[in-house]
């Protein structure tokens, strides 16, 4: 049998890629490894050890192409984790593999060309990402990202405006996150303009109780709806919910997880975030899938 195109779920870290990938992996005939192939942090895969930070792949090496091909075929157990679902089925030729990887966001053309994946971009309000980063004790990788873009020669957004990343410590947390969010999405937009097939979904839309956008996304990807939502949806891993600092809080309802940030964001910081990201959010809104 010919293997069907894998699905890549990507977006800025803390945008809900894990939740959406697990929802898509509830469809019959799918499997989710759970680990992020291009994530260079900690004990992650780092594309078979070839990456040490954010990367903008344009011409992957032979080793990187092989690592991508294996991961997106479900044939590399090193990309399996407790956040996956039905990993045992991933290598089977009739299984549709779902991959979640925020670090693929800067390399969509290379990843799609190498793996044939259908990319899904999860959009989450930058203030929500800011709140999630704070909960984790993280900071946006401004210096690292600036170096990657400078090396790749990507210094302008799709509208021709210069991309600017402030030096760490020179601006407040809100502006730092807004700049990080803006630049990552600007690069993805530039790539999307040159390559068809990118599906963009808003985190709040796709988590809505009516399920219309999630159903539309499944239909666009050629995924069937779960026959029994309760039985087929992956269970939250033990220890994934509760205290501040947990990586994924999968015990909450999708609607609560998508919108809770609004009660915890300072109005002044929200204004800063929305000012810095206004142009990019407007362009992304035009791509957003609706039910």
Which residue, chain included where needed, has tokens 């210094």? 155
- Whether the pLDDT of residue 130 is over 50: the answer is yes
Rounded to the nearest angstrom, the gap between the alpha carbon of residue 1 and the centroid of all alpha carbons in its chain is: 29
Which pair of tokens denotes residue 112? 């799609």
* Structure confidence by residue, pLDDT tens digits, 193-223: 766 679 999 999 999 989 999 999 999 999 9
pLDDT of 155 reads 64
Residue 6 or residue 135, greater confidence:
6
Residue 1 or residue 33, greater confidence:
33
Strands 80-85 and 30-34 come out as: antiparallel
- Whether the pLDDT of residue 51 is over 70: the answer is yes
In the predicted model, what is the mean pLDDT of residues 49-78? 96
Query: Mean pLDDT for the chain?
Result: 88
| Confidence bin at 46 (pLDDT 50/70/90) | very high
Q: Using an 8 Å Cβ cutoff, are 71 and 45 in contact? A: yes
């Amino acid at each position: 049998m010919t293997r069907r195109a894998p699905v890549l779920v990507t977006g800025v870290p803390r945008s809900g890629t894990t939740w959406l990938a697990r929802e898509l992996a509830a469809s019959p005939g799918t499997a989710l490894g759970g680990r992020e192939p291009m994530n260079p942090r900690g004990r992650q895969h780092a594309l078979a050890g070839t990456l040490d930070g954010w990367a903008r792949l344009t011409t992957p090496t032979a080793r990187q192409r092989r690592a991508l091909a294996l991961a997106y075929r479900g044939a590399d157990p090193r990309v399996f984790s407790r956040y996956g679902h039905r990993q045992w089925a991933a290598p089977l030729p009739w299984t549709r593999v779902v991959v979640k990887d925020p670090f693929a966001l800067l390399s969509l053309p290379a990843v799609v060309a190498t793996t044939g994946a259908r990319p899904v971009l999860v959009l989450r309000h930058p203030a929500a990402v800011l709140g999630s980063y704070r909960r984790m004790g993280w900071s946006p990788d401004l210096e690292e990202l600036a170096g990657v873009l400078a090396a790749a020669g990507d210094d302008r957004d799709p509208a021709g405006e210069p991309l600017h990343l402030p030096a760490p410590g020179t601006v407040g947390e809100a502006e730092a996150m807004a700049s990080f969010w803006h630049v990552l999405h600007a690069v993805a937009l530039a790539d999307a303009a040159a390559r068809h097939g990118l599906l963009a979904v808003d985190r709040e839309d796709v988590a809505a109780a009516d399920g219309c956008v999630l159903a539309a996304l499944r239909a666009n990807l050629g995924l069937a709806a779960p026959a029994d939502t309760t039985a087929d949806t992956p269970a939250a891993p033990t220890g994934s919910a509760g205290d501040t600092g947990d990586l994924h809080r999968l015990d909450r309802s999708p609607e609560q997880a998508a919108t809770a940030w609004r009660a915890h964001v300072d109005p002044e910081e929200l204004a800063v975030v929305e000012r810095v990201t206004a142009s990019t959010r407007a362009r992304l809104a035009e791509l957003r899938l609706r039910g």
